[in-house]
Amino acid sequence: MGVETDAFAAMLRELKDRSGRSYGALATRLHVSTSTLHRYCNGAAVPTEYAPVERFARACGADRRELVELHRRWILADAARRREPGAVAAPVPAPEPVPEPVPVPEPVPAPEAAPAVEAAPVPEAAAGENGGTVTEPHRPRWSRARVLAGATAVVVLAAAVPFLMRGNGRPVAATAAVAASASADAPAPTSTPAAAPVTASAPASASTQTPAPTPTPTLAAPPPPFHVNVLSNNWGTPCGQWFLSPRAPGKVAQPPRSQAATEAWAASQGGVPAGHLRLQLTAQGTSAKAVALQAVYVHVVSSQPAPKGNVYTPASGCGGGLDPAFFTVDLDASAPRTVAVAGEKDNGKVGPSDFPFHVSDTDLQVLRIDAGTRSQDVSWYLEVEWNSDGRQGTLRVPDDGQVFRTVAKTGAPGYFYDGKGWAPTPVDS
């Protein structure tokens, strides 16, 4: 158990002890087992998601400052958990083995067919200069069977040699020489009309064919040197948070008390974030090397007119006190982009702060983004451009391939929950 996990577990115990609630009572309230809460509070386990941590803290009465600090400690403890021994790295495909050289066998001459025996012609007598007779010298004849057998041996050897491979996978260059030496052993006939179509040039096309090269395995690119945690619950406050749903007020369930459960409640009621979707991105490096975050780009997947329905807010009596974002996005623009604006930090106003930002495993950067639309139904996602230690790239947010969705609420009837039911209320802009 590392220092980061100890600090995280210590704050959980402090919140639990201050609340006066037992492990059993908290477990029942949060719908988890008592043993799971014990493991979180004694540092034996770190939740893989922040949502159950936030529900635990709110059930214990944590204020906003404590929620921010607990979130920071959870990120550090989660990063420490990922670095623990036993994590299995993605396997790197091994290169294919190089085939060993195949020895080139000595050419074996084909068995010669038994020649047909023909009767030798009787030499004719010719008159000599002195009146004697001269016998004409004997001229050997080759039978057709013997000629064909010799030509067949040449073709067989010439056709077989191109398939003998070296260790590098290419044909043996001595094909023509081997075929020539094999053909040299056969006597040349004076006239072979039947063997004329069979020539030594027949296997030439085969000897020039080069096998297709073995494809080199492509290694997967290493992961980005940082990760981004996303909270989409309106920066921890229900004020100014609206959901559009096709259901009538009498068909919409009571909203939850926990802000962390609001998103799941809205989805169960067919609700979609309306007017604005406010995200909190927390970027953290995976090592001590600094990572420069250069920009955040907005990519619109689809945009169409907003559907009709009613809009509901889980808040009541918030007034207009929602803190401004550090970046705004106009999803109705032809090319939406992030724009740095004034914000609030540590209960004080701060001026616009723009890219680049730097993160590492101990330095975090929180980015608050307010993406709004006045007339459309927009599906979109973000990409964070980064560079570090000679590498550069982009990281998609969310990184699971999903998209964010925001719909307009202009002109839709609005309702808030007054403790007994849904009551009409003006819809802010």
Q: What is the DSSP string of 221-290?
A: PPPPSEEEEEE-SGGG--TT--EEESS-GGGSPPPPSSGGGHHHHHHHTT-EEBSEEEEEEEEEESSSS-
Q: What pLDDT, on a 0 to 100 scale, did the predictor assign at position 222? A: 85
φ/ψ of 161, rounded to 5, equals -65, -40
Mean pLDDT of 154-173: 41
φ/ψ of 228, rounded to 5, equals -125, 125
> pLDDT per residue over 18-42, tens digit each?
999 999 889 888 888 998 988 999 9
- Determine the 3-state secondary structure of 48 from DSSP: coil
Whether residue 240 is predicted with pLDDT greater than 80 in this model: the reply is no
Q: What pLDDT, on a 0 to 100 scale, did the predictor assign at position 178? A: 35
Q: What pLDDT, on a 0 to 100 scale, did the predictor assign at position 212? A: 66
Question: What is the arrangement of strands in the sheet containing 272-273, beginning at the earlier edge strand?
Answer: 272-273, 243-245, 310-313, 414-417, 422-424
Strands 327-330, 338-340: parallel, antiparallel or unpaired by DSSP?
antiparallel
Tokens representing 284?
């953290």
C-alpha span between 408 and 57 (Å, rounded):
33
> pLDDT per residue over 108-122, tens digit each?
555 555 455 444 444
Tokens representing 69?
């600090």
Q: What pLDDT, on a 0 to 100 scale, did the predictor assign at position 333? A: 93
Whether residue 159 is predicted with pLDDT greater than 50 in this model: the reply is no
Question: Residues near 58 by Cβ (< 8 Å), separated by ≥ 6?
Answer: 67, 258, 259, 260
Q: What pLDDT, on a 0 to 100 scale, did the predictor assign at position 59? A: 92
DSSP state letters, 154-223: HHHHHHHGGG-B-TTS-B-TTHHHHHHHHHHTSPPPS--TTTTT--TTTTHHHHTPPPPPPPPPPPPPPP
Residue scoring higher pLDDT (80 or 109):
80
Strand partners, 302: 379
Q: How far, in whole angstroms, is CA 32 from its chain's centroid?
A: 33
- Sole residue written with tokens 């604005």: 276
Q: Please report how the helices 3-19 and 23-30 are oriented relative to each other, as an axis angle in degrees rounded to 10.
A: 100
CA atoms within 13 A on the CB side of 329: 26
> pLDDT per residue over 209-233, tens digit each?
566 667 666 666 788 999 898 877 6
In terms of Cα–Cα distance, which of 385, 319, 311 is closest to 355? 385
Q: What pLDDT, on a 0 to 100 scale, did the predictor assign at position 269? A: 85
Residue scoring higher pLDDT (319 or 358):
358
Q: What pLDDT, on a 0 to 100 scale, did the predictor assign at position 105? A: 54
φ/ψ of 208, rounded to 5, equals -95, -5
Q: What pLDDT, on a 0 to 100 scale, did the predictor assign at position 239? A: 75
Residue scoring higher pLDDT (136 or 385):
385
Whether residue 282 is predicted with pLDDT greater than 80 in this model: the reply is yes
φ/ψ of 383, rounded to 5, equals -135, 130
State the pLDDT confidence band at 382, using cuts at 50, 70 and 90: very high
Strand partners, 79: none
Arithmetic mean of pLDDT over the chain: 74
The type of residue at 134 is V
Percent of the chain with pLDDT over 90: 27
φ/ψ of 147, rounded to 5, equals -65, -45
Q: 279: phi > 0 → left, psi -120 to 50 → alpha, else beta; which?
A: beta
DSSP state letters, 57-83: HHHTT--HHHHHHHHHHHHHHHHHHHH
Q: In order of start, what are the domains of the chain with their CATH numbers?
A: 1-83 (1.10.260.40), 143-219 (no CATH), 226-429 (no CATH)
The type of residue at 311 is V
Q: 343: phi > 0 → left, psi -120 to 50 → alpha, else beta; which?
A: beta
Q: What pLDDT, on a 0 to 100 scale, did the predictor assign at position 57? A: 93
Q: For the whole prediction, is pTM greater than 0.85?
A: no
Where b means 16+ CB within 10 Å and e means fewer, 207-245 reads beeeeeeeeeeeeeeeebbbbbbebbbbbbbbbbbbbbb
Whether residue 355 is predicted with pLDDT greater than 80 in this model: the reply is yes
Whether residue 179 is predicted with pLDDT greater than 50 in this model: the reply is no
Question: Residues near 24 by Cβ (< 8 Å), separated by ≥ 6?
Answer: 34
Whether residue 160 is predicted with pLDDT greater than 90 in this model: the reply is no
Residue scoring higher pLDDT (323 or 115):
323
